[in-house]
Amino acid sequence: MSMIARSFTIEPAVDDYIASTKGQRSASERVNELLRRAILQEEYDRLGRQAADFFAHIDRRERRAARSIQHASTRTLSRD
């Protein structure tokens, strides 16, 4: 993996947290780990908002139909 050297300004509290949680790793490795986790969390949040948006626009007939399919699938699976 190639790395890009960048310079960012961070808050003192963030710097303290990185220093206290980095262990044997470098501060850069710890920052990259935290950024990867934050990116993943933002992606989960975005997908959650998309799902909520999608399901908010389904009308009652579609919901009843979806529940019927779920119940039929559950009954079929329980017979196996």
**Tens-digit pLDDT profile for residues 23-53:** 999 999 999 999 999 999 999 999 999 988 8
Q: Tell me what pLDDT residue 31 has.
A: 96
Residue range of the domain that includes 72: 12-79
**Total domains in the fold of the chain:** 1
For residue 42, being part of any structural domain is answered with yes
For residue 72, being part of any structural domain is answered with yes
- Residue 69, Cβ neighbours under 10 Å: how many? 10
- Average pLDDT score over the chain: 88
Q: Tell me what pLDDT residue 28 has.
A: 94
Does 17 score more than 90 pLDDT? yes
Confidence of residue 80 (pLDDT cuts 50, 70, 90): low
- Residue 13, Cβ neighbours under 10 Å: how many? 8
